[in-house]
Amino acid sequence: MLQSYAIIGLMLLTAAVMGSSLLIVGRLIRPSNPNPTKLGVYESGVPQVSPPRARYTPRFYVVALLFVIFDIEAIFLYPWAVAFDALGLYGYIQAIVFISLLLAGLAYEWKKGALEWV
């Protein structure tokens, strides 16, 4: 049993030594010529025209939150689908109630205009 842990420890030690040595060798052999042009902000060849910390509208966060909610819905429905035969009618009704609540929330958000990008 201790031999298994020794192998894992040896692999971790090898990874740490190899990673450290590659970083050190890279620092020793690469050229270092900093200047203001190289250190400036550069993205896709477009010069920066707005501040880097631009504010997002609240709609962005609402859409992100809706995505997370409906992604979690899929996570909760997967175990239900796997155990569908064992749950019977009670499990089916529970799933219908769950999906109905989520659809009601989606309809509410759609009606309020949270899904509009303009």
Note the pLDDT of residue 22.
Answer: 96
Q: What angle do CA 68, 74, 80 make, to 5 degrees?
A: 145
Say whether both 60 and 26 belong to one domain. Answer: no
Flag residues of the chain having pLDDT under 50: none
Q: Are residues 68 and 111 in the same domain?
A: yes
78 and 115 share one domain: yes
The pTM for the full model equals 0.46
Residue 66 placed within a domain: yes
Q: Is 49 within the bounds of a domain?
A: no
User: What CATH number is attached to the domain comprising 61?
Assistant: 1.20.58.1610
The domain total for the chain is 2
Residue 85: inside a domain: yes
Whether 75 and 24 share a structural domain: no
Count of CB atoms situated within 10 Å of the CB of 7: 9
For residue 68, being part of any structural domain is answered with yes
Range of the domain at 12: 1-30
Q: Both tokens of residue 98?
A: 């769950």
89 within some domain: yes
Whether 20 and 60 share a structural domain: no
- The reply to whether 35 falls in a domain is no
pLDDT score at 67: 83
